[in-house]
Amino acid sequence: MVDRLAPLRRTPGIVRLHGHRAARGVLPENTLLAFRNTFDIGVQVVELDILSTSDGIPVITHNPRLLSASTRDAEGNWLSGEGPRIHDLTYEELSRYDVGGLRAGTTYAARYPDQAFLNGQQIPKFEDLARMLAEPAYRDIWLNIEIKSHPEHPENTPPIPDYVAAVLSILRRHGLEDRAILQSFDWRVLEEIARKAPDIPRSYLSYLPRPNPTMEVNVFEASPWIGSAPWARFGGSLPRIVSHQGGMFWCPYHEDLDPEEVALARDLGLIVNTWTVNSPEDILRAIDAGVDGIITDYPGRAQRLLLARGLSWREDIRPVRATG
């Protein structure tokens, strides 16, 4: 039997790289320009975020509202305060904003000091990226598509059945069912995908409880994020729960990585990717933890660290050892 997920699995000598929001460390996140330039450096998988406009168009952007740190209006002025909700704007309204750069002086900008700054970058339709993947040079590219959804904020997105149907419709129209992973922190979305498109592989994102979480924890007993997943039956073992749910991928936060759990997940047949791994130390630790794939804002840096370890990220790039 052909393993069509082989390009996403770790093999001896190869750890996969997923460019996070294309390559947020160096290019404006989730823009078509960034996707193209990231494909061009030989990154085979890109991670991206989906939300929906008020007229039901899946678009590629991360935050439920336009972010003042990264959004200029049609006159070139920075948004102030809380921007409008993506799901309250038509695509035509949304397309007037420019997300080509980060605003100096903001905390968000300070986190990505090498990210290029340009004008004229719209939030793309998901379909625009799907269309780009038909280009001959990009026939081996995979998409790791995160569907943004929040159990306590249904106003941010369409009803889940409609939302999932819209994304699947684009994948099918462009023949991308064989090059797509669908992932979410909201596992209810993944249940809907399992019903509608059981053959498209699903990835279960997780962020464990901790003393000072920097975002919302999604995995714990009776969490609204995990839908009908039977937490207690598996004693909270995420690899076992994801496997039971029919997931092909488990995607834990990199600080939550435990090599024994990664090994268990792989024994269960899962592919383990981890997010979002940027510092050299963290990238090396993720490699050592045994993951299949690393989601990073700095794919060039991750390529180079793999090579320095005698590893690679794709079959046609040879591991290059430091000696000899």
Q: Which stretch binds its own copies (CB under 8 A): 45-53, 62-70, 261-269, 316-324?
A: 316-324
CA distance 24 to 37: 12
Does 68 bind its own copies (CB under 8 A)? Our answer is no
> With contacts defined by CB under 8 A, how many residues of the chain interact with its own copies?
40
Contacts 24+ apart (CB under 8 A), 317-324: 317/42, 319/13
Does 217 bind its own copies (CB under 8 A)? Our answer is no
Q: Pick between residue 78 and residue 231 the one whose CB is nearest to its own copies.
A: 78
Q: Pick between residue 211 and residue 324 the one whose CB is nearest to its own copies.
A: 324
Q: Are 46 and 144 in contact (CB under 8 A)?
A: yes
- Contact residues for 323 (Cβ-Cβ < 8 A; gap 6+): none
Nearest to 34 by CA among 106, 107, 136, 102: 102
Q: Per-residue contact track with its own copies, 32 to 51, x per CB under 8 A?
A: -x---x--xxx---------
List the helix and strand counts (H, then E) for the chain.
Answer: 10, 9
How near is the Cβ of 256 to its own copies at its closest, in Å?
A: 26
CA distance 23 to 296: 7
Q: Pick between residue 72 and residue 266 the one whose CB is nearest to its own copies.
A: 72
Does 228 bind its own copies (CB under 8 A)? Our answer is no
How near is the Cβ of 303 to its own copies at its closest, in Å?
A: 5
Whole-Å CA distances, 49 to 11, 62, 96, 196, 312: 27, 5, 19, 20, 26
Question: Contact residues for its own copies (CB under 8 A)?
Answer: 25-27, 33, 37, 40-42, 76, 78, 101-105, 109, 113-119, 280, 298-301, 303-304, 307-308, 310, 316-318, 320-323
